[in-house]
């Protein structure tokens, strides 16, 4: 018998099971389509976290460069309507910007000159005033001092066995107070000069950067949207800053009048201090309250008269925060308290005291931009306050 010859194709092909033939195309499809969706999501999340950390790192280490620029941009939002008003009077933007900047610098120099005398007087009396305030404060917190003294005696008795061991004393030499003050003053003056020059260039440029942006955008719809966002943002931020300026100045004037009625020395100084520090939410009011409390205790021998000084400020601040500011801002640009507090803490950590002044304007600007960009409207919703109807409609 003759054997049947094998098919030549079967000789060349390796032995492949049906299961292997089914699984092979699946492996090639997975290789061709890339990583799984979970892997892509994890990679995207990791890149987002690294990008946010890199931005924070850059903002922190570039604060000397970024803080004056941010101040200049905020002042440009505030003063651009004045330059446009001068332009309607046929004054070109470079001349109008110069007029506005010179008026602003003149107002600041006049205020500093007028307040230099009272500040010097209080600085000279500071040691004596602090000693007087300390005596008055001891009279109020004497029961607390007794409890503290008792706790210290218990602590000494507990640590009596370890009193024989002496720990080495380490002396750390730091720069003198004079050198620190001179260095801080030089940096502050340089930053102020940079803010003034950059502010003038921004005001004199007018709509230059907006015009450049419109030219590089390809589509007409994008051009119109850019113009709309720019105008709405500038109008809303300038309204927000003007409203805060009006409320803070009004609070300072009312406080100065109330302190004058209480026979407090230099009431104008305290009014200007309150109007300035009120730009820092929460922290500014706390600083003013403490300073006025110390000044009242150092000025008046009667405890009730001394405590009336910070008490009057608390009353005026309550009216300003709960009545005047919501009416002027009309709830459209208001930020919720949690966002304000977190933003204040973040920018104070990031940029120090200048960051505390810029925290709320930066958050307001960011919220306005989020409200006009489709992909960021949810972020703007989280930053804003909830309307009264929605607040009462929540269950529970």
pLDDT, tens digit, 9 for 90 and up, residues 79-96: 888 888 898 898 998 898
Handedness of CA 246, 248, 251, 257 (dihedral sign): negative
Please give the pLDDT value at position 57: 87
CA distance to 57, 79, 84, 231, per residue, from 237 (Å): 27, 11, 16, 10
Residue in the block written with tokens 């009011």: 285
pLDDT, tens digit, 9 for 90 and up, residues 204-241: 887 777 777 777 877 777 778 777 777 777 777 787 78
Please give the pLDDT value at position 120: 77
CA distance 332 to 306: 39
| pLDDT above 50: residue 171 | no
* Cβ neighbours, 10 Å, residue 358: 24
Please give the pLDDT value at position 341: 85
pLDDT, tens digit, 9 for 90 and up, residues 46-68: 888 888 888 888 888 888 888 89
Better-scored residue on pLDDT, 114 or 329: 114
| pLDDT above 70: residue 122 | yes
Residue in the block written with tokens 């306050």: 385
Mean pLDDT of 142-158: 62
CA distance 356 to 349: 9
pLDDT, tens digit, 9 for 90 and up, residues 372-381: 777 778 888 8
**Structure confidence at residue 155 as a pLDDT band (50, 70, 90):** low
Please give the pLDDT value at position 253: 93
Indicate the domain borders of the chain: 60-139+182-393
**Structure confidence at residue 102 as a pLDDT band (50, 70, 90):** very high
The residue among 338, 146, 152, 325 whose CA lies nearest residue 244 is 325
**Structure confidence at residue 387 as a pLDDT band (50, 70, 90):** low
Please give the pLDDT value at position 56: 85
Handedness of CA 228, 230, 233, 237 (dihedral sign): negative
């Amino acid at each position: 018998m003759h054997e049947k010859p094998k098919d030549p194709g079967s000789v060349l092909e390796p032995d492949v099971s049906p299961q292997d033939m089914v699984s092979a195309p699946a492996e090639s499809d997975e290789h061709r389509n890339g990583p799984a969706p979970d892997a892509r999501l994890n990679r995207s999340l990791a890149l987002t976290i690294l990008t946010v950390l890199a931005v924070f790192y850059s903002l922190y280490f570039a604060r000397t460069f970024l803080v004056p620029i941010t101040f200049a941009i905020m002042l440009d939002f505030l003063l651009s309507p004045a330059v446009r008003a001068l332009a309607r009077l046929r004054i070109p933007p470079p001349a109008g910007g110069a007029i506005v900047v010179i008026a602003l610098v003149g107002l600041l120099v006049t205020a500093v000159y007028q307040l230099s005398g009272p500040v010097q007087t209080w600085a000279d009396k500071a040691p004596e005033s602090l000693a007087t305030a300390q005596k008055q404060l001891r009279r109020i917190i004497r029961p607390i001092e007794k409890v503290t003294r008792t706790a210290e005696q218990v602590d000494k008795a507990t640590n009596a066995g370890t009193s024989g061991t002496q720990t080495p004393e380490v002396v750390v030499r730091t720069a003198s107070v004079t050198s620190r003050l001179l260095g801080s003053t030089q940096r502050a003056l340089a930053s102020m000069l940079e803010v003034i020059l950059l502010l003038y260039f921004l005001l004199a440029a007018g709509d230059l950067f907006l015009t450049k942006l419109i030219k590089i955008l390809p589509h007409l719809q994008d051009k119109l949207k850019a113009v709309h966002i720019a105008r709405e943002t500038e109008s809303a931020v300038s309204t927000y800053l003007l409203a805060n300026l009006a409320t803070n100045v009004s609070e300072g004037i009312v406080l100065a009048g109330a302190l004058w009625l209480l026979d407090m020395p230099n009431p104008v100084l305290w009014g200007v201090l309150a109007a300035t520090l009120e730009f820092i939410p929460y922290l500014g009011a706390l600083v003013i309250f403490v300073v006025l409390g110390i000044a009242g205790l150092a000025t008046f021998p009667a405890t009730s008269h001394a405590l009336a000084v910070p008490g009057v400020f608390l009353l005026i601040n309550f009216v300003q925060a709960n009545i005047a500011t919501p009416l002027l801002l009309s709830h459209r640009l208001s930020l919720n308290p949690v966002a304000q507090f977190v933003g204040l803490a973040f920018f104070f950590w990031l940029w120090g005291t200048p960051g505390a002044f810029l925290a709320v304007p930066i958050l307001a600007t960011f919220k306005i931009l989020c409200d006009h960009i489709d992909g960021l409207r949810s972020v703007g919703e989280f930053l804003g306050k909830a309307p009264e109807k929605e607040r009462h409609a929540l269950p529970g």
